[in-house]
Structure 1
Amino acid sequence: MKKPVYLSLLFVSCLLVASCEQNEEKQQWFKGNLHTHTYWSDGDAFPEMVLQWYKSNDYDFLSLTDHNTLQQGEKWKKIPKSHIYEKAFNDYLQAYGEDWVEYTSDSSGTRVKLKTEDEYLPLFLDEEFLIIRGEEITDSYDGKPLHMNATNVQEKIEPRHGNSVSDVLQNNINAVLEQREATGVPIMPHINHPNFGWAVSVEDMKALRGERFFEVFNGHPSVHNYGDSARMSTEQMWDQINMAYIERGQPLMYGIATDDSHYYHQFGPQFSNSGRGWVMVNADQLDAATLIEAMEAGQFYASTGVTLSSYEVENGVIDIDIASEEGVTYRSEIIGVKKGKSNSEVIAIHNGNEIEFKVPDDVLFVRVKIVSSRLKENPFEEGDFETAWTQPVIPN
């Protein structure tokens, strides 16, 4: 893993398409999660243990995104008086030793000094795992939770508040983009779980400027990814947002998947656990600047388990090879919005491991949703199948 490298670079301008020319010989897929919590806010594990879990489970990069905080300064954590958490502390102590773990114990319990990023980063210095500094900017309006992540943030960003839901979100987007402009460093905002607390409507999302990413899938049990009988799913919101963005000539909104992990010792659909959602980014090297550049060019897909061997968009043709597994089948829906229509629809269905689809001229955009026949292990919701979502593509 490398320490986060914060470099200024000229971004590739690929605003309304899902691919740019690349050096395919050097490109590779990197797996990462951009929404993760630790004891520094409301997660229930030490940052070193969280990082080790992701590294041990074949992730290439991770962003720790605690609420309105960076892993800097001094913070002590009182270990809950519970067998689960006392055992977790003992496991931490055994893994890292008395020389590393600073703690006090008395009749009131155990307090542990949390390690800062400057302390834990050197433990993960190799070429195969990248830690990207992150923050979940946590705000609200009229009691509604309004959360946004900043990936590759350089300094802590304080919530800016506002006079409406969209105003709060826009003010916080602006804060991220202003830091990016001031530092010359690629810093990526993304809107978190819009249906959490039913806080963010599709009209709020449509109103945003400068936002390129939102969570089409979040693994927390309270975020209502699928909507309900009266409110849109995040997928439905995604298509409506992009209809509005195309109408006003704004770059497309891309969809990411995260697990929003908080719980590392209790498991099940009622807990927000690791391994539920991630992004696969096609890039030529593992550093924060390159990954963000690739994502802004649409060179990634979101997944809860489906893996692609290849994904290309060239001359208006989407070409996908699914990394198939024995006994598993795949159903792929080409979802799009036809010109003059007000809703998205399934334009075509492909069964099998290969997809080749020419984007027709009569659509605003299309995207691909691939659903496996294999049930997701420890799912967001019982009965979920492993799924992948590619990014929207407009006709040539």
Structure 2
Amino acid sequence: MRTSLFCLLALGLISTASAQQAKWYKGNTHTHSLWSDGNDFPDMITDWYKQHGYDFLAISDHNVLQAKEVWMSVPAIEKRRRVLGKTTVDKYLERFGKEWVTTREKDGVTEVRLKKLEEYRPKFEEPGKFLIIQAEEITAGIGKLPIHLNAVNLQEEIAPVKDLATIPEVIRANLQLVNEQAKRLGVPMLSHVNHPNFRWALSAEDLAAVVEDQFWEIYNGHPTINYPGDASRMGHEKIWDVANTLRITEYKAPPLYGVGTDDSHKYHGEENGPGRGWVMVRAASLDPAEIVKAMKAGDFYASSGVTLDDVSFKDGELRIRIHGEPGVTYRTEIRGTLPGYDATTRPAPPVAGDLHPPRLLYSDDIGKTLATIEGEEIVWKPSGKELYFRAVITSSKPYEKPSFPGQMQMAWTQPMGWKK
């Protein structure tokens, strides 16, 4: 029954919404706290997301779950700030009071205990209103080349597998650890590959080859993720289209689904702050298992500012209804790859110090623009021959703190039409 449901969802014949009267839930699956390299307390971060309209949050610190005794000195905490004003600890005390904040003196220095997830979860969670999902950024790599994956709804801390012979082997080995834990514990989990262009670490070919992977970050709000690419290295849009085309044609595998995230580390007014990228998940309820289930069915979209009231592909038509803002215009591009596409490649110009040579560049036939539609109501009928198609919605509203020059608010649907 589960397989049949997935096939119908892929075809667009039904949706989890129509089957279960689902709702849209806004969430972030990638952000950091003082537990690793963030600069604020996890309960302060959770409070920010709840106060700003999010329905769920997964704080994903590097190679750690918030489940043990950790103390941090006040000087070490304050060293992570880059802006003036109230100190991190003062803001913490002002928000929650001395009864909540646990401190001690050690060797003449004040230390603050970081709250465990089990401690602060009851303070914020509300059934149907706000959910915290446990997560970890599994931080692996090969030498200086970073290979990061987020494991969402993880129950036990995972030590990363590093320094195998190839990038796909490292990704696959860490995915297997998450999948094995999910199977052993009977808990649904998902993993997404993070920021491929961070230090230009991963290629489209890497993402295509690991057919066990179902998710990756189409948008990550960190200012060093190199979303547009450059003359030698593909941007995120092209990476997605090349990876999906290779997966469908060469690997006979489903395409990747795209996630939007913050990857926030800074919470005191710095550029890498929260609220930059997220997912909107259409799920039966605000429950970790239902969120994971809906995302695995592709019933979600990624956003950096644009909200969709509805997106569906059924009866042979793609329909999108954009939640418009006064004075803002919207352009939707339908992108995809057609049969008989130009599959030729050419070597990319080499870049000094590149961690991932050699690189290939692909023809414009891959991920070509099939249609461009202006306005808030989108109705488009594919030919049915497309290997896949997806929609990219761009608004005329600039991004408040851009990650790359000229950035506008956007949204991305998942690939459709690939299951014939």
TM-score, scaled to structure 2: 0.87
Tell me the residue number matched to 2:351: none
Matched, 1:21 2:15: yes
Deviation, structure 1 residue 104: 3.0
Following TM superposition, by how much is the alpha carbon of 1:13 offset from its aligned partner in structure 2, in angstroms?
A: 2.5
Shift in CA distance, 108/328, structure 1 to aligned 2, threshold 3 Å: farther
Q: Tell whether the 8 Å contact from 1:15 to 1:251 is kept in structure 2 after alignment.
A: no
Shift of 1:118: 1.1
Structure 2: distance between partners of 1:21 and 1:91: 44
The secondary structure found in structure 1 opposite 2:93 is helix
Residue number in structure 1 paired with 2:321: 321
- Indicate which of 236, 239, 242 corresponds to 1:240: 242
Deviation at 1:245, TM superposition (A): 1.5
Matches of residues 25-174 of structure 1 in structure 2 within 5 Å?
A: 26-80=21-75, 81=78, 84=84, 87-104=87-104, 109-127=109-127, 128-161=129-162, 162-174=164-176
1:208 to 207, 210, 215: 210
- Kindly provide the CA deviation profile for residues 227-275 of structure 1, in whole angstroms up to 9, marking residues without a partner as x: 111100111111111112212321221011101000001322xxx2111
Deviations 1:92-119 (A, max 9, x none): 0122121211113589653211010111
Partner of 2:305: 305
Counterparts of 2:275 and 2:286, CA distance in 1 = 20
- TM-superposed deviation, 1:64: 0.7
Matched, 1:266 2:269: yes
Work out the CA distance in 2 between the residues paired with 1:230 and 1:23: 42
Q: Which of 347, 351, 363 is residue 370 of structure 2 equivalent to?
A: 347
1:373 to 396, 400, 406: 396
Tell me the residue number matched to 1:256. 259
Between stretches 225-234 and 200-209, larger displacement belongs to 200-209
Instruction: Assess, with a 3 A threshold, how the Cα gap between structure 1 residues 71 and 348 changes in structure 2: closer, same or farther.
Output: same
RMSD, matched Cα: 2.0
What amino acid is aligned across from residue 138 of structure 2 in structure 1? I
Give the superposition deviation at 1:182.
1.3
Q: CA deviation at 1:46?
A: 0.3
TM-score in terms of structure 1 length: 0.92
Structure 1 counterpart SS, 2:87: helix
Q: 1:382 offset after TM fit, Å?
A: 4.0
Report the 3-state secondary structure (helix = DSSP H, G, I; strand = E; otherwise coil) of the residue aligned with 2:58.
strand
Quick one: which of 375, 383, 387 aligns to 2:406?
Answer: 383
- Alignment partner, residue 190 of structure 1: 192
Instruction: Report the alpha carbon displacement of residue 21 of structure 1 after superposing the two structures with TM.
Output: 3.5
Using the alignment, how far apart are the partners of 1:22 and 1:15 within structure 2? 10
- Separation of aligned partners in 2, 1:266 and 1:78: 22
Alignment: residue pair count: 385
Distance 2:266 2:8 in 1: 37
- Deviation, 1:148, is 0.3
In structure 2, the CA distance between the partners of 1:230 and 1:250, relative to structure 1 (3 Å rule), is: same
Residue ranges of structure 1 left out of the alignment (5+ in a row) = 1-8
Contact 2:35 2:61 (C-alpha < 8 Å) held by counterparts: yes
Which whole-Å deviations, capped at 9, do the CAs of 1:8-56 have from their partners, x for residues lacking one?
A: x967434982644335372211000000100000000001100000000
The amino acid that maps onto 1:184 is G
Change in 2 beyond 3 A, CA 1:85/1:178: farther
Structure 2, unmatched stretches of 5+, are: 344-365
Deviation at 1:332, TM superposition (A): 0.6
Cα pair 1:18 1:391 within 8 Å, conserved: no
Q: Could you tell me whether the CA contact under 8 Å between 2:15 and 2:299 is conserved in 1?
A: no
Question: What percent identity do the matched residue pairs reach?
Answer: 42
